[in-house]
Structure 1
């Protein structure tokens, strides 16, 4: 069975998913065959270049014209473009794979989840860090009871790409487009990972959001911000989302959670970390040490670092000999393999739009908690 595929979006995530599709037949020969059909965007010159670069057959400038012409529609655009194209595709019976967070508002996420529920098509949300082999290994340990009763989850996602106040404004700085800042862009990953790994949902939260730079220069034709002299005459736009957030959380089963994300964490490029402590042991993962999982059992005096690259580790039988490490891009290969396999079989995919909605509800509760200055139930 060959699945024709359309992408909305061809920048960062478009490139990541296109790379994954190109790798699938080489390393996952049992994956469904994929025809990269149409690439959707607004800039025809950039689209024509991306079509050739990504191996697509054609491009279109109107998603409404193509959502019913492909078998699978990838929604990789800014967050405010997630709802309407995804809903239209699902209504047409087209499978949909949508980047996270599910939407820019809770209302939009609820509409998307409802559309997925009423459609026969497969819907998936792209929480790619679930498909890190070390995370899959950690999930198996936890499901087997290795940690005992889970007491603590603490998750951070730290970056520093906005520390410079002259860094240019982008759609990720706009509430109308992105919905939130570090909270939705980075915190969504942490929240999903925590709920996925321990198999429990967050019940209530206490959140704190902060914006450190209130306006940023509009990028010029060269993509830069302020000139070298730091001219005050450069056009700026307001930053209407958070630069950082922290949250305390209580899970339904009683586990305590602490979450943090920042785009101002100087010295951190992509530090996505999670630690879980239980009555019998602990696990700790850091994305910047992608191939490792730190494990502690009740009889040990310290953490043991496990290199998760053996052939019997998750997904590793498709790749290289032990110790020949994988990288960030491999998460997209793994999640595309799982999603496309589910779509071809007409099965559900995990994580689905319901999962994305559950995360979106937590994001909204954290924002509400910050506004009200008190604990809020999800």
Structure 2
């Protein structure tokens, strides 16, 4: 059994705590550590870092942990890996400090607020020779793993288009508490759905369908004022909805709507419909349904008669055919193997920079009202 220290900065936040500490790092330890190819098992020693010592102490006590601090420099001295799940504005400074200390870096997305900063992180990590990775969790969702299986098996024939719908209603904070922190809706604090979600859509599109060549986006702030955690009304200066069209290599057209001001009339909070010459699929977080061309019905448009067909009944559920672990945990294990035995890990800071680039160009497209080409970085 080998033990390695992992600095976890930002565990007092929702994602840092639930998905990364509890469901990834602690879950790996609970399974007896990570098994490497040579039979060695690796146990992780998390060092909790944040701004509030009281919050860190409470989390540590809840899980029987003892190592926590508000001093990042001191924590880095005791670790081999640095993980960052802070708010985006705080990420670059802390990651650069970890790179200078020679630590391997794993970070939430977006890696930075601007392409310039994101590229600088990738270059700094390469120059220092440290392993680096960015969270791209949606690639490991059961629904998208099933979709990838269909693509690899040639189910679609020639893929024509991708249509994505993501979002839910985030309460304004007055008569019901908001489900997301208030900084998400302030541009000056790094908020906005484009900066949050376009990096996600970039790696989904790039890894499943092909490189993004152009983007046209419309960013909107549908809810102009919200109420924060202290009950104070504030101006929402960041976009809470974005409507994007992406042209991909191979002639594929992707349309993705992202909104925190939409009520859900879908089976899951995110769904992607993929249409091809030989078949179509609708994939969500967990499930995936397909319709092959041989089983495609022949609807006829007639507004004078009521619709009697139940179109969803004509689709077939894709079986699991495997046991799916938590997507965040899967990627943690891949990154740890990358660090410890040089296993491949394509989701590096360069990939993260391309995601930030798409967000930056999406905001620019909306501001200028035009389609923009996505150049290689």
- TM-score w.r.t. the length of structure 2 is 0.84
Structure 1's 360 and 55: CA in aligned 2 closer, same or farther, altered over 3 A? farther
Provide the rounded CA distance (Å) in 1 between the counterparts of 2:142 and 2:223. 37
Provide the rounded CA distance (Å) in 2 between the counterparts of 1:171 and 1:355. 25
Aligned residues: 344
| Aligned partner of residue 82 in structure 1, secondary structure | helix
Indicate if the aligned counterparts of 2:163 and 2:274 stay in contact, CA closer than 8 A.
yes
Please name the residue that 1:184 is paired with.
195
Task: Give yes or no for the alignment of 1:171 onto 2:183.
Answer: yes
Structure 1's 361 and 265: CA in aligned 2 closer, same or farther, altered over 3 A? same
How much does 1:55 deviate?
Answer: 4.3
Deviation >6 Å, runs of 4+ = none
| Aligned partner of residue 244 in structure 2, secondary structure | strand
Structure 1's 26 and 299: CA in aligned 2 closer, same or farther, altered over 3 A? farther
Task: Give yes or no for the alignment of 1:354 onto 2:363.
Answer: no
Indicate if the aligned counterparts of 1:121 and 1:346 stay in contact, CA closer than 8 A.
no
Structure 1's 40 and 275: CA in aligned 2 closer, same or farther, altered over 3 A? same
Please name the residue that 1:7 is paired with.
8
| Aligned partner of residue 108 in structure 1, secondary structure | helix
Output aligned runs, 1:17-166, within 5 Å: 17-19=20-22, 20-27=24-31, 30=35, 32-162=41-171
1:304 to 316, 319, 333: 316
Please name the residue that 1:371 is paired with.
367
| Aligned partner of residue 59 in structure 2, secondary structure | helix
Q: Which string of whole-angstrom CA distances, capped at 9 and with x for unpartnered residues, describes residues 140-175 of structure 1?
A: 331333222221011221121145666566221222
Provide the rounded CA distance (Å) in 1 between the counterparts of 2:192 and 2:339. 31
1:256 to 244, 253, 256: 253
2:218 to 205, 208, 228: 208
Indicate if the aligned counterparts of 2:223 and 2:261 stay in contact, CA closer than 8 A.
no
- TM-score w.r.t. the length of structure 1 is 0.83
Provide the rounded CA distance (Å) in 2 between the counterparts of 1:268 and 1:171. 27
Provide the rounded CA distance (Å) in 2 between the counterparts of 1:135 and 1:240. 33
How much does 1:267 deviate?
Answer: 3.5
How much does 1:29 deviate?
Answer: 5.1
Provide the rounded CA distance (Å) in 2 between the counterparts of 1:112 and 1:51. 30
Structure 1's 75 and 145: CA in aligned 2 closer, same or farther, altered over 3 A? same
Output aligned runs, 1:322-341, within 5 Å: 330-341=326-337
Provide the rounded CA distance (Å) in 1 between the counterparts of 2:265 and 2:193. 14
Moved more, 28-37 or 210-219: 28-37
Structure 1's 341 and 219: CA in aligned 2 closer, same or farther, altered over 3 A? same
What value does the CA root-mean-square deviation take over the aligned residues?
A: 2.3
Structure 1's 29 and 37: CA in aligned 2 closer, same or farther, altered over 3 A? closer
How much does 1:217 deviate?
Answer: 2.8
How much does 1:365 deviate?
Answer: 1.0
Provide the rounded CA distance (Å) in 2 between the counterparts of 1:159 and 1:187. 16
Provide the rounded CA distance (Å) in 1 between the counterparts of 2:172 and 2:279. 37
How much does 1:22 deviate?
Answer: 1.9
Structure with bigger gyration radius = 2
Provide the rounded CA distance (Å) in 2 between the counterparts of 1:82 and 1:347. 26
How much does 1:68 deviate?
Answer: 4.3
Q: Which string of whole-angstrom CA distances, capped at 9 and with x for unpartnered residues, describes residues 103-141 of structure 1?
A: 222222121222233232221111111112332232133
Indicate if the aligned counterparts of 1:127 and 1:189 stay in contact, CA closer than 8 A.
yes
Provide the rounded CA distance (Å) in 1 between the counterparts of 2:71 and 2:30. 32
Provide the rounded CA distance (Å) in 1 between the counterparts of 2:276 and 2:63. 45
Output aligned runs, 1:190-339, within 5 Å: 190-198=201-209, 200-220=210-230, 225=231, 235-267=232-264, 271-287=269-285, 290=286, 292-301=287-296, 302-308=314-320, 310=321, 313=322, 316=323, 330-339=326-335
Provide the rounded CA distance (Å) in 1 between the counterparts of 2:136 and 2:15. 12
